[in-house]
Amino acid sequence: MLPKLVKFVLRTRFSRPLLGLVAFFLIYDTVIRAFTSGNAPEFSGGFSYYAVGSSIFFVVMSLLFGGLFVMKSDRDYLLTLPLRRRDLSISLFIAQFVGSGITILFLYGFYVAGAGDLETTIILVANLVLLACVVTSLGVISNILQTWKRVALAAALGLWCFSSILNFPFTPVSSFTGELVYGSIVLFGVASVVVPVALRELAYLELGSIRSLLRATSSEYKKNMSFVGKGPIRAIYSYHLSFLEMMGRVNIGGSTSYRAARVRTSTVLVVSVTAAAVYLFLTGLSPFTRLPFRPAVVVVPVFMGIITLVLMSQGTLSNERGWLAFTAMDPATYLRHLLFSRVISALAIIGPFGVADIILALLGIRAGAGSAIVLLVTVPSASILAAYLVARLGAVQQVREEGMMPGQFDLRQFLVILPTYVVVGLIFVSEISLTASIVIAAMLTVVSTLLMSIAGVWRGIAYRLTERGFV
């Protein structure tokens, strides 16, 4: 029964071409070992920073934005069937793994495959698989935790993992800094706690996560926005500048969830200003901690860029209602003002870091200038292009029910992530050379401005979205 159930669960959640691509990547990662033998991962530099940094990103994002690969039809049919809970739990865990945790294997597998000797390779591969299982499990567990517990756990785990950069050997990711034995033991320990919890949760979804999703908690807003006395355009800006909306398939670091939440922009601004102040202190102002944190000037814009691009591309349109907005006014006018207002609200997250980077540049830290340009110009312009691309390719899914997948994932939704990596590449280039950062920022600004100026493009987007059932 289990193999049939696994097949059913996978096929209902992922299209055949998407599963094919996943299989291809895994085979590619394995085969490439043959061509890269002898290029051992460098445990003291690039590989360690990359692997530890990315692992922190995955762990934190899974906890903050974790979601379930469960559809409404599961709630209505699959979960009511007389299936063995163990089979159900394993099948859903495999689906979660394919949908989220597996991203880790794509990103690090390439490096690990190049380990110098077989023993190191085996240990690192085992660590990666375990880490992928941990990230998968955290994505499930996040659904049963209250927000403050999720944030606290994410912060604690993030800091714990980060300590491996400071040569602390007992962390879940210290294998990537060369502590193969201690790192493996700690990671195994963490996995043996979180994986069973996630499996248990998946076995009784209807009593846990789904029940809490349906529970009518905090069903009222304490303070309502008012649109009285506002014209159409002012109403759009008033809405999107007051609140930062998290909506749609939040797909960050492989974690996937469907949420509809709004956070007051002023609250976001307070948090980001505080975080930027800490960042400025650690990277530029503190005489004691300056050196170990200096790479953050390069790393932070990249992560902030990815988060903004994902939020803008996936989240901008997922909550849109064509039958309301596109019939109330010209879709081109609506979409362009919507995008522009979202870019401004995204600056509430990244803007303070951009300002901190300007101060760093004035303090003589050269990378600060490039980072500031990236955060204040490149990322906002690129996020307009990202939102356009996702909508143009029909890869955006309208969220009609929170917590549930609106439909099957297909190759198209996966492939639209690729241009994001092009932008990330451009961000890296911008960090190396100030001239390059100015050229890239100018180029992306020109392209996005041109795109925004053509009304027909946005009317076409509205038609395309409607054709794909986005009403």
Q: How far is the CB of 468 from other proteins (least distance, A)?
A: 9
Q: How far is the CB of 227 from other proteins (least distance, A)?
A: 4
Contact 305, 423 (CB under 8 A): yes
Q: Which helix (H) or strand (E) holds 313?
A: helix 296-318
Q: Does the protein bind other proteins through residue 467 (CB under 8 A)?
A: yes
Dist. CA 391–CA 164, nearest whole Å? 40
Q: How far is the CB of 225 from other proteins (least distance, A)?
A: 5
Count of CA atoms in the C-beta half-sphere (13 A) of 381: 24
Those residues whose C-beta lies under 8 Å from the C-beta of residue 140, and which sit 6 or more positions away, are: 66, 68, 93, 96, 198, 201, 202, 209
Neighbours of 322 (CB within 10 A): 18
Q: How far is the CB of 71 from other proteins (least distance, A)?
A: 16
259-265: list long-range contacts, CB under 8 Å, 24+ apart.
259/65, 259/67, 259/402, 259/403, 260/319, 260/399, 260/402, 265/241, 265/345, 265/348
Q: Which residues between 322 and 341 bind other proteins (CB under 8 A)? A: 322-331, 334
Q: What is the largest CA-CA distance in the chain?
A: 70
Q: Residues 283-322 vs other proteins: string with x where CB under 8 A?
A: ------------------------------------x-xx
Residue in 16, 200, 234, 264 binding other proteins, rule: CB under 8 A: 234
Two tokens at 107? 């990103």
Quick check: helix, strand or coil at residue 252?
strand
Q: Does the protein bind other proteins through residue 219 (CB under 8 A)?
A: yes
Task: Please identify, using beta-carbon distances, which residue of 91 and 345 lies nearer to other proteins.
Answer: 345
Cα–Cα distances (Å) from 226 to 276, 325, 326, in that order, read 31, 17, 21
Q: How far is the CB of 454 from other proteins (least distance, A)?
A: 16
Stretch that binds other proteins, among 33-41, 235-243, 305-313, 432-440 (CB under 8 A): 235-243
Q: Which residues between 21 and 60 bind other proteins (CB under 8 A)? A: none
Task: Please identify, using beta-carbon distances, which residue of 305 and 322 lies nearer to other proteins.
Answer: 322
Task: Please identify, using beta-carbon distances, which residue of 76 and 220 lies nearer to other proteins.
Answer: 220
Dist. CA 430–CA 302, nearest whole Å? 10
Q: Does the protein bind other proteins through residue 445 (CB under 8 A)?
A: no
Task: Please identify, using beta-carbon distances, which residue of 294 and 459 lies nearer to other proteins.
Answer: 459
Q: Which residues between 339 and 358 bind other proteins (CB under 8 A)? A: none
Residue in 1, 44, 76, 221 binding other proteins, rule: CB under 8 A: 221
Q: Which helix (H) or strand (E) holds 263?
A: strand 255-264
Stretch that binds other proteins, among 171-179, 220-228, 276-284, 422-430 (CB under 8 A): 220-228
Those residues whose C-beta lies under 8 Å from the C-beta of residue 461, and which sit 6 or more positions away, are: 331, 335, 388, 391, 392
Task: Please identify, using beta-carbon distances, which residue of 87 and 330 lies nearer to other proteins.
Answer: 330
Two tokens at 404? 């549930």
Q: Which residues between 394 and 433 bind other proteins (CB under 8 A)? A: 399-400, 402
Q: Nearest to residue 310, comparing CAs of 223, 383, 364, 361?
A: 383
Work out the burial of residue 436: count CB atoms within 10 Å of its CB; fewer than 13 is exposed, 13-18 middle, 19 or more buried.
Answer: middle
Task: Please identify, using beta-carbon distances, which residue of 221 and 288 lies nearer to other proteins.
Answer: 221
Contact 410, 17 (CB under 8 A): yes
Residue whose pair of structure tokens reads 């490039």 in the numeric block:
370
Q: How far is the CB of 101 from other proteins (least distance, A)?
A: 28
Q: Does the protein bind other proteins through residue 231 (CB under 8 A)?
A: yes
Q: Does the protein bind other proteins through residue 459 (CB under 8 A)?
A: yes
Task: Please identify, using beta-carbon distances, which residue of 201 and 245 lies nearer to other proteins.
Answer: 245
Distance spanning both ends of the chain, measured CA to CA: 39
Stretch that binds other proteins, among 13-21, 175-183, 216-224, 411-419 (CB under 8 A): 216-224
Task: Please identify, using beta-carbon distances, which residue of 24 and 463 lies nearer to other proteins.
Answer: 463
Q: Does the protein bind other proteins through residue 225 (CB under 8 A)?
A: yes
Task: Please identify, using beta-carbon distances, which residue of 82 and 223 lies nearer to other proteins.
Answer: 223
Q: Does the protein bind other proteins through residue 191 (CB under 8 A)?
A: no
Binding residues for other proteins, how many (CB under 8 A)? 46
**Sites of contact with other proteins (CB under 8 A):** 216, 218-221, 224-232, 234-236, 239, 243, 245, 247, 260-262, 319, 321-331, 334, 399-400, 402, 459, 462-463, 466-467, 471
